[in-house]
Structure 1
Amino acid sequence: MWRLNTVRHKAGRKGCSLEELKFKRRDHEKELRQARKDRQLVSKRLLLNEDDEVDSAMDIQSSDQVVELFLKVLNGGEERGDHLSTLRKALRNPSTHLLLIKQENSMHVLVGLLSGSNAQCRLEAVRCLHELSHSPHPSVGPACLPATPYLLTYLSGQSAKFTELCLYTLGNLCPDSDAIVEKLLAQGLIPALANCIQIQRSSLAVVEAVGFTLSQLLQAKHAAEKISPLVLASGLVPHLLSVLTVDPQFGLSPAIECAWCLHYLICSNVDNGALLVQGTLSQCSALLVTLGGAVAEGTKQEGIELLIWPLLRCVGNLLSSRPLRELEPQLRDARLLATLCAFTLAFLQTQPALARESTWVLNNITADSSRFCSALLFLNLVPSLIQMLPFSRDINTMVLRILGNVAHKGSEYCIQLVKAGLLPALCATLKMADQEMVTLSLEVLLMLLSSSPQVAEEFVKQSGQSLLEAIQYNSEGEMRLRATYLLENNLTLTDL
């Protein structure tokens, strides 16, 4: 996950070997990777009908009323469709869910109507099942299982609205239990989704629903072992990637759902090589650049951050899954760096977690790449990064790591960082109470001072020596060792 680079200087460092630092980094990356995988976004969705703005849940006072409604449906007649519609409105109230499934043969009747020839009854039956799939009661989901084979069959139908309803019903059932997921997999849910998105690719509403159902499935308990390999083998990935565009007529929703699916596939670590070969990294980064242009121009589309989140995670996790030299051919557009900086600045105050996510990706892309470190300097992005150093919430520490990545590339890079104004910024961060910020500042400072005697002289002119002495005498442990090392091995090279 987070590629926490360990900055080092040419003369080595007392008190902590490079191998120890690499071990700490790997261990920390493992913890962060697990934390991201554990942060799931399972949720249920309820589709509203055209008349739902004026409709409200029926006021059910007793179980007798539910029984009466069910008997009207059971007895049939020309008004059966209307009775089903009334029952569906009653099911808008969660308290009726358990009352209905406890009625003898209630689910058998609904399934019979779902598979029958009456189009109105079929539609109302699936709407009833959709209401039930949204239930908060854990026993309701399993009760709906007899209907799932028919719901899967209807995914290959011609009616986009009916297909959409079936998809959201199936997606709502996935989080209810492992047994439901196992049953749906055995019934062929993944091939059905692949077939559905291929047939209905012109209906972005259906594509969004496929993405929702698949993302629910990919968050199941054993998704990495049992589900992700099936999805990768199903041919779904190219369809997911084809949706990663901003459609002005339909909005961002289909792309958001498909981006989350790709994120969960990447986090499973099943076959990121296959995802890379299919262009996942290049497609996600290209869309980020497009979105970054809109953000930089101040023309943010409403909800754009909901798409930026999964795209950042896809790119950041893929970058940490392979040596960057293997991935650079898929990252030809250096504007991605400017995009990440634009996101950080745009969301710094309103959504600092998203700003932090952007700096995490920027850290991953610069950690092992001279090309991207050079681009960061060439595009004059360092001043923008420096202005984020006073900001906390882990953004400033990540920015320091990015600047450390650049400094680690050599003396010329260090000199360019000094010209961009990094020395006075480090003088400010050395005064912070945050020990991690001070420690990282000392690491970056060590590389800058080692690059040129002139840099050391400039640091002394900015009262840097007194700052190091204060750390040396007022701190303990690693910070004190580092401050002492700087005073004894770098500043003594100058005529103080």
Structure 2
Amino acid sequence: MDTYSDDKDVVSLLHKIQHRGPEREGHLYTLGKSLRDPASQLVFIKQENSVHVLIGLLTGTNTQCRLQSLHCLHELSHSPHPSVAPACLPATPYLLTYLSGQSTRFTELCLYTLGNIFPDSDVVREKLLAQGIIPALASCIENQRHNMAVVEAVGFTLSQLLQTKEASRKIIPLVLASSLPSNLLAVLTPNQNFALGPAIECAWCLHYLTCSGEDLQAVLASDVVLQCGMLLVSLSDTVAQGNKEGGLELLIWPLLRCVGNLLSSSTSDEVCACLSDERVVAALCGLLQAYIQIQPALARESAWVLNNFTARSSLFCSTLMRLNLVPSLIQLLPFSQGINTMILRVLANIAHKKRESCVELAEFGLLSSLSATLKMAAQEVVTLSLDILFMLLASGSQVVEDFVKLGGISLLETFHYCSEGDVRRRATYLLEHHLLTGSPYSGNCIPHS
């Protein structure tokens, strides 16, 4: 950062802006630039009444001085020093009041200033909650729903609140009791005003709500699952057309987490009923395949949600089979980084839900793929593979015969002699009960649970 001469340092500028004159706006602008420096921020707040000087200009009649003073407060809100945020507390009632103002640019800057100053300060957070920041945000997004820049700023500020350590106890109940969930959800409706930035911020807010462990009935009543699922369908279609740029994955992440968390945390069949549209399952498979090479972590997230779907309901298992999506999943089993683990869980769900599906899975070539995954180093992959193999072998003699032809007996014998614990017991059980008659093997055998 540039070194300021004596007449332009923070102290000098503070003194100058306290005097009326045509140069005041210029001095405020220069002060804002100087406050980008953390050292200058400390110098500023140590000056007597420094923040109150900015508040006086913020609440004055000069439009440019009001905006420049707000810029100064915004620069202070970025400070890494823990003492700066509490020093800005006198300004927060005015920042909240201006959320209902007419100037969208002013409102937007107030929101980002508020969102920056409270994450690391318990004192500021407590004060803002007492001052009514949640109702203020709810009113702001309600009144500015067509201004996407303001909506994005509301989403940013709220997401900062929802990530704080006391969020589940003090903040989330207030949010769920407000109109915020429905207004956040409205942003996720693709229409002529749809904008990626606001959608990303609002989707992350919904994610923090869905993973909070709180009573989510208020969220579910707003059809979060359905809305996120339908938007995933739309995004999957876009990705399938070759559009994987522009930050789409930044929106896909929180949408997947919203759906996945609600599926795993809710005991109600209402969640599954909301997503009876088979396009959602197809969309998850499409995203899984589209990102498996370029963003494996996102592909794994898609597989995780698919697992939660198939674990909850046999309907989704049948949908995967009916839409002929299983063969493409089986082809992805060689991929590591947890992707094959999730796909194996999906396949296990299918095999478990319906015995007849086991024969079809074998016909899709799953036996040969399992022969490969059984040779992998990851014990979780091997254990899941043995569990699926148990269900397949129990489904009929033809599957047993096919596995024997693939060298299955020698493969399981390797586990019997060279492995320990659950892997050895599972392999021994399969040998004794499904592949060998009058086997000499003995051990602590356990059936698949």
Q: Which bin holds the TM-score, normalised by the shorter protein?
A: over 0.9
Confirm whether residue 170 of structure 1 aligns to residue 114 of structure 2: yes
Give the secondary-structure state (helix, strand or coil) at the position aligned to 1:293: helix
Instruction: For 1:246 and 1:63, locate their aligned partners in 2 and report how far apart those are by CA, in whole Å.
Output: 53
Say whether residues 1:406 and 2:353 are aligned partners: no
Q: How many Å separate the matches in 2 of 1:275 and 1:249?
A: 23
Single out whichever of 449-458 and 173-182 deviates more from structure 2.
173-182
Q: Mapping of 1:422-433 within 5 angstroms?
A: 422-433=366-377
Question: What corresponds to 2:139 in structure 1?
Answer: 195
Residue identity in the other structure for 2:435: L
Identity %: 63
**Which residue of 2 is the match for residue 185 of structure 1?**
129
The Cα of 1:352 is off from its aligned counterpart by 1.4
Q: What is the TM-score with the length of structure 1 in the denominator?
A: 0.86
Match of 2:50 in 1: 106
Aligned: 1:251 with 2:198 = no
1:441 matched to 2:423: no
Which one is further off, 87-96 or 389-398? 87-96
DSSP 3-state at the match of 2:123: helix
Q: 2:197 corresponds to which letter in structure 1?
A: S
Superposition map of 1:348-387 within 5 A: 348-387=292-331
Counterpart in the other structure of 2:267: 323
Deviation, 1:349, is 2.2
Residue 12 of structure 2 corresponds to residue 68 of structure 1: yes
Partner residue, 1:209: 153
Looking at structure 2, the residues matched to 199 and 323 of structure 1 have their Cα atoms a distance apart, in angstroms, of 35
Partner amino acid for 1:376?
L
- Alpha-carbon displacement from aligned partner over 1:296-316 (angstroms, at most 9, x marks no partner): 221234100000010111000
TM-score by structure 2 length?
0.94
CA-to-partner distance for each residue in 1:47-90, whole Å, 9 max, x for gaps?
A: xxxxxxxxxx5433679822111111112222211211111111
Partner-residue secondary structure (3-state), 1:320? helix
Per the alignment, in what secondary structure is the counterpart of residue 372 of structure 1? helix
Contact kept, 8 Å, 1:66 with 1:100, in 2: the verdict is yes
Deviation at 1:92, TM superposition (A): 2.2
Amino acid at match of 1:269: G
1:296 matched to 2:296? The reply is: no
1:91 Cα deviation from its structure 2 partner:
1.4
Instruction: Check whether the contact 2:184–2:206 (CA below 8 A) recurs between aligned residues.
Output: yes
Q: Alpha-carbon deviation of 1:248?
A: 6.7
Contact 2:148 2:195 (8 Å CA) reproduced: no
1:219 is the counterpart of 2:163: yes
Structure 1 stretch 118-127 or stretch 242-251: which is displaced more?
A: 242-251
Q: Which secondary structure state, in structure 1, belongs to the residue aligned with residue 386 of structure 2? A: helix
Match of 2:403 in 1: 459
* Map 1:271-350 → 2, pairs under 5 A: 271-323=215-267, 325-350=269-294
User: What is the CA–CA distance in structure 2 between the aligned matches of 1:363 and 1:61, rounded to whole Å?
Assistant: 63
What amino acid does structure 1 have at the position aligned with 2:246? E
**1:239 aligned residue:** 183
Q: Which runs of 5+ in 1 are unaligned?
A: 1-56
CA distance in 1, matches of 2:406, 2:120: 62
Distance 2:221 2:252 in 1: 22
Query: How many residues are treated as equivalent by the alignment?
Result: 438
What code does the residue aligned with 1:346 have? A
Does 1:160 find its partner at 2:160?
no
* Structure 1 residue 251: Cα displacement: 3.4
Structure 1 CA distance, aligned partners of 2:312 and 2:197? 34
* C-alpha distance in structure 1 between counterparts of 2:8 and 2:47, whole Å: 11
Render the CA deviation track for 1:326-348: whole Å, top value 9, x for unaligned.
Answer: 32220121111121112122221
- 1:6 is matched with none
> Does structure 1 residue 151 correspond to structure 2 residue 95?
yes
Change (3 A) 1:67 1:245: same
Q: Counterparts in 2 of 1:122-141, with a 5 A limit? A: 122-141=66-85
Say whether residues 1:79 and 2:23 are aligned partners: yes
SS at match of 1:332: coil
8 Å contact from structure 2 (residues 264, 308) kept in 1: yes
Aligned-residue offset at 1:382: 1.1
Contact 1:340–1:359 (CA under 8 A) maintained in structure 2 = yes
CA contact (8 A) 2:7 2:13 kept: no
Q: In 1, are the aligned partners of 2:187 and 2:198 still within 8 Å (CA)?
A: yes
CA contact (8 A) 1:59 1:90 kept: no
Alignment check: 8 A CA contact 1:316 1:361 kept: yes
Secondary structure of the 1:289 match is helix
Match of 2:447 in 1: none
- In structure 1, distance between residues paired with 2:324 and 2:395: 20
Q: Which residue of 2 aligns with 1:391?
A: 335
8 Å contact 1:324–1:365 — kept in the other structure?
no
Select between 443-452 and 368-377 the one with higher mean Cα deviation: 368-377
What CA distance in whole angstroms lies between the structure 2 residues aligned with 1:412 and 1:466? 27
Q: Aligned equivalents of 2:7 and 2:415: distance in 1?
A: 73
Aligned-partner residue type, residue 24 of structure 2: R
Distance 2:34 2:422 in 1: 66
C-alpha contact 1:58 1:89 (8 A) present in aligned 2 = no
Aligned twin of 2:360: 416
Distance in 2 (alpha carbons) for counterparts of 1:463 and 1:162:
72
Could you tell me which residue of structure 2 aligns to residue 41 of structure 1? none
Distance 1:318 1:152 in 2: 32
The answer for unaligned runs of 5 or more in structure 2 is: 439-449
Q: Structure 2 CA distance, aligned partners of 1:169 and 1:317? A: 31
**AA in 2 matched with 1:336:** V
1:148 Cα deviation from its structure 2 partner? 0.5
Residue 414 of structure 1 and its aligned partner are, at CA, apart by 0.4
Helix, strand or coil at the partner of 1:408: helix
Q: Distance in 2 between matches of 1:64 and 1:170?
A: 28
Shift of 1:211: 0.4
Q: Secondary structure at the match of 1:208?
A: helix
Whole-Å Cα distance in 1 between the matches of residues 113 and 318 of structure 2?
50
